[in-house]
A and B are shown apart, each in its own frame.
Chain A
């Protein structure tokens, strides 16, 4: 099992195209989260899937050179902190978690105040978090395989 070099050439070629499409689809689901079903969590899961697609197709080391563990951990904390800061800024209107930006006209893309910002924060956190879980579970197999072969 040539795991360090990933999968075959056809898979690598198609992955280069499909990863960007999956990424774009995830961002679309995120940005329309207040109009159509979806939102931050669903978009974050799709983004994490695109990263996992990269790791599966290109092998562990080649993908980890671009997305290191510290960056993922930092992104996860940043997403959580952004959500908390938006919630605390609601105090300026008098209540925790108040929707304090302009509400705009309904059914437009830039409406409904803080909901879209919260969605972006959740998106970053869930995407980074799921990918970090995958990395943690995938890197755990290294000691066992080193003693097998």
Chain B
């Protein structure tokens, strides 16, 4: 139970960074932390007490394995997170080219 609470605290730290920090690069890092927390939470859901890794072997029969489905889902989610992070970094670099600063208080041409 405490593991799930720790995952939630990590997620909240990531959201805090994403919302409160003024530097754009720190916002990207915050989003990365939040996304790792969600992935970790999902994998922890699959844990069965006393289970082994879900890899079939020729010589031994498996009796108690952890749930392999969340692991497959998280592989997909990590790839999606990679794509979003790459896009974020590219957009932030282009913003630096145009505005010459990473500070979000300076980047407000769009108002109203």
Contact = CB atoms under 8 A, between A and B. Distances in A.
Query: Touching in the complex, A and B, CB below 8 A?
Result: yes
A17 interface: no
A136 B97 contact: no
Interface string A116-140: 0000000000000000010011001
B93 A107 contact: no
A106 B56 contact: yes
B56 A107 contact: yes
Say what secondary structure dominates the interface of chain B: helix
B40 to A, nearest CB: 17
A133 B56 contact: no
B62 interface: no
Contacts of A133: 86, 90
Interface residues of A, number: 11
Given A41-B79, A143-B97, A136 B90 contact: yes
B79 A37 contact: no
Contacts, number: 22
Contact of A107 (B58, B79, B89, B94): B58
B75 A144 contact: no
Say what secondary structure dominates the interface of chain A: helix
Interface string B68-110: 0000000100010000001001100110010000000000000
A55 to B, nearest CB: 16
Contacts of A4: none
Contacts of B90: 133, 136-137, 140
A127 to B, nearest CB: 13
A73 B75 CA distance: 24
Nearest to B58: A107
B55 interface: yes
Contact of B89 (A36, A41, A137): A137
A69 B78 CA distance: 26
A107 B97 CA distance: 53
Interface of A: 36-37, 41, 106-107, 133, 136-137, 140, 143-144
Given A41-B75, A144-B97, 13 more contacts: A36-B55, A41-B79, A106-B56, A107-B56, A107-B57, A133-B86, A137-B86, A137-B89, A137-B90, A140-B90, A140-B93, A140-B94, A143-B97
User: Sorted from nearest, which 7 A-B pairs have the closest CB atoms?
Assistant: A107-B58, A133-B86, A140-B93, A41-B79, A137-B90, A137-B89, A41-B75
